[in-house]
Structure 1
Amino acid sequence: MSNHDERITTTHLANGGPEVGVQGLGCMGISDFYGDTDEAAARETLEAAFEAGVTLYDTADMYGRGANEEFLAPFFAAHRDEVTIATKYGVVRFDDTPNSTVSNDPDYIRQAADASLRRLGVDVIDLYYMHRRDPQVPLAESVGVMAELVQQGKVRYLGLSEVTGAELREANAVHPIHAVQSEWSLFSRDVEYSVVPAAAELGIAFVPYSPLGRGFLAGTFADSNAAMPANDVRQYLPRFVGDNAKTNTALLEPIRTIAAHHTATPAQIALAWVHHQAQVHGLPVVPIPGTRKRSRLLENIAATRITLTDEELALLEPLAEQVAGERYPDMSSTAVAREQ
């Protein structure tokens, strides 16, 4: 599959929402969780994304404990009127480890929004997500505060991350929700149970994070974590270690076979599958694969031009049910945990 520099097509985040490129960029890894970053290369990647038509850039206040928003600020300043800035509140980091808690407290939401505005160097956040749901705080109360931010001109559009279909409906009744974000990939399809149908029913766009299974679907991992640097969070994720990793590596074989047929990479096939879900489920789907490398960025963008056949889709259909290990060591803050 060629990586030539065609601009990607666009879609809209829900009815009346912003027009964005059909593939966004997840920016978490620039500052956190996946080892050290070459900042100059990361800035080059951001500019390459912009040139290719990527307009949705996804960050959060907990990525690098604010450092990710600060890193992105100069890029956003240079392209402010042509990009959609998405950031999030709700996960509170204690230190530079992954240790965190969840807060949906109204005062915290107001403080977090103001802090993100300062770090990003902007007057308004285009898309503001509740990063994780705290069931101890009434959803209508938290979304009500988010609606206040819209009324105050601090936020344009609202989003939710890792919610159930019922929670999405409840929130949308308080204030229009324009995007819902959760993990969705060939290895993670729990969202198809309730939240994807709810989003389709309400006309809300879906923004899949980790559409490459945190890199596993790219086929770049051996079946052990020996090569991971000490500051790579994947060494703690159940799918990447021990027998789980061996089982999951074997599941990549049909993806590799299909990739060879398309003269593509496994990552491109995995992304093409995610993009195809827009047709399957009848809603805008804007995956946000993360990368710090220009070459990977162009590879990912080329996936938007791959069309999988019915036979290929059938080969990929059973993979998720065979995956070994949970997405996180602790699944308690995820939507699927609240549905069980």
Structure 2
Amino acid sequence: MQQRTIGTFTVSAIGLGCMNLSHAYGTPPSAEQGERVLLEAVQAGVTLFDTAALYGFGGNETLVGRVLKPHRNNLMLCSKGGLAGVTGDDGVVRRAIDGRPEALRRNLEDSLRRLQTDVIDLYYLHRWDKKVPVEDSVGALADFVRAGKIRAIGLSEVSAATIRKAHAVHPVTAVQTEYSLWTRNPEIAVLDACKELGITFVAFSPVARGFLCDAVPDVAAFDAKDIRKSMPRFDPANYAENLKLLPGYRELAREAGCTPAQLALAWLLHKRDDIVPIPGTTSVSHLRENLGAGDVRLSPDLLQRLEPHINQRTVHGNRYSLQSRGEVDTEEFPGD
């Protein structure tokens, strides 16, 4: 498998986003199926695994920690804090953004315990808590580095300006944001900021939450807990328009000699060598398919036809709801 660098780490060019195994897209798979996916990834040469305190309200970290513990020394383990489950007075666990140093410390200790490790290789601020100066949150993460509890600092869903503020406090090793053919926001400023500062860009949802796999079922059939139900691009009216992009996209994949999912991932790998995509899946066969993207070679001519076909101008609907857009700090295109 191709290799790329994140700070001082050398990792597989395609990592595994573990969220799907416990969270987000309806009823998650069984623990046994999650274990099969994780172990197959290890066997296939994946060395970058990405989880978070939020995913399954700790359940994903528990799964990842248990399954990957025997392989820990050969992997780069990444998690996130600052966005986690909090139990209310009514006993219900709800997501909460909290970037205060004391909250981050609590998140980290919980993550270390669930992951069954003494140190997390890359620890992200999952969301910038806009009530707390980012310098204060990153200062806490810097303390964790000095204490030997994390090895590197990451940021998630932030703007170029916030990256620069954080980097001035402590070097940022990675920035993680949604990036795919149909979500180009990082191209506004974040990719350039990362290149300037020597920060690796980690692309989540690189296959557009299933759309670029050509595998999204009828949106009306989404499970009640599927987070895509609240995403404007999957609104029935917008989605009907977005489906019109798929025939041409399928043809480009056929021309490239790959599957639609592999085309999406290969596009990211061709963009720059400091981008690492982390597709997620609940299927061993889809995992193998995704990893095969590393062998796909795209001609300059095909790339010139692919990029205008699916981009922020041709896709209908914003990537997030109005509420979710208020929780992130990423730049937006005019008219978004």
TM range (shorter): over 0.9
| Structure 1 match to 2:115 | 120
| 1:102/1:168 CA distance change after superposition, 3 Å | same
Q: Does the C-alpha gap of structure 1 residues 49 and 248 become closer, same or farther in structure 2, counting only changes over 3 Å? A: same
Contact kept? 2:177, 2:202, Cα under 8 Å: yes
Shift of 1:86: 0.4
Equivalent position of 2:150 in the other structure: 155
Secondary structure in 2 matching 1:286 = strand
CA contact (8 A) 1:164 1:338 kept: no
CA deviation after TM superposition for structure 1 residue 252, in Å: 2.0
Q: CA deviation at 1:225?
A: 1.4
Q: How far apart are residue 339 of structure 1 and its match?
A: 9.1
Aligned pairs (5 A) from 1:79-228:
79-94=71-86, 100-222=95-217, 224-228=218-222
Mapping of 1:309-328 within 5 angstroms?
Answer: 309-318=299-308, 319-320=310-311, 321-328=313-320
TM-score, normalised to structure 1's length? Answer: 0.91
Aligned partners of 1:128 and 1:158 also within 8 Å: yes
- Native 8 Å contact 1:179 1:205 kept in 2: yes
Residues 197 and 252 of structure 1, relative CA distance in 2, 3 Å threshold: same
Note if contact 1:256-1:266 (Cα within 8 Å) is conserved in structure 2: yes
Map of 2:236 onto structure 1? 242
Q: Is the 8 A contact 1:158 1:177 kept in 2?
A: yes
Answer yes or no: is the 8 Å Cα contact 2:80–2:124 preserved in 1: yes
1:307 is aligned to 297
Q: Is the CA contact (8 Å cut-off) linking 2:153 and 2:172 kept in structure 1?
A: yes
Unaligned runs of 5+ in 2: none
Q: String of CA shifts for 1:163-208, please: whole Å, max 9, x gaps.
A: 1111112211211111100000000001111111000111111100
Answer yes or no: is the 8 Å Cα contact 1:180–1:207 preserved in 2: yes
Cα distance change, pair 221–35 in 1 and its aligned pair in 2 (3 A): same
Specify whether residues 267 and 339 from structure 1 end up closer, same or farther in structure 2 by C-alpha distance, changes over 3 A only. Answer: closer
Task: Tell me the amino acid that sits aligned with residue 50 of structure 1.
Answer: V
Match of 1:27 among 18, 36, 39: 18
Corresponding residue SS for 2:84? strand
- The separation in 2 between residues aligned to 1:100 and 1:337, in whole angstroms, is 23
- List structure 1 runs of 4+ shifted beyond 6 angstroms: 95-98
Which position in structure 2 is the counterpart of 1:4? none
**2:43 aligned with 1:48:** no
Asked if 1 retains the 8 angstrom alpha-carbon contact of 2:185 and 2:332, the reply is no
Aligned partners of 1:73, 1:262: CA distance in 2, in Å? 38
TM-score, length basis structure 2: 0.92
Describe the SS at the equivalent of 1:176: coil
Deviation at 1:12? Answer: 0.9
Structure 1: gaps of 5 or more residues: 1-7
Q: Matched residue of 1:115: which SS? A: helix
Change (3 A) 1:290 1:98: farther
**1-structure distance, mates of 2:92, 2:320:** 15
Q: Is residue 2:281 matched to residue 1:291?
A: yes
Identity percentage over the alignment?
Answer: 40
Query: What displacement does 1:227 show?
Result: 2.3
RMSD: 1.9
Residue 334 (structure 1) shift = 2.0
How far off is 1:254 after superposition? 2.5
Per the alignment, in what secondary structure is the counterpart of residue 281 of structure 2? coil
Cα distance in structure 2, aligned partners of 1:67 and 1:232: 17
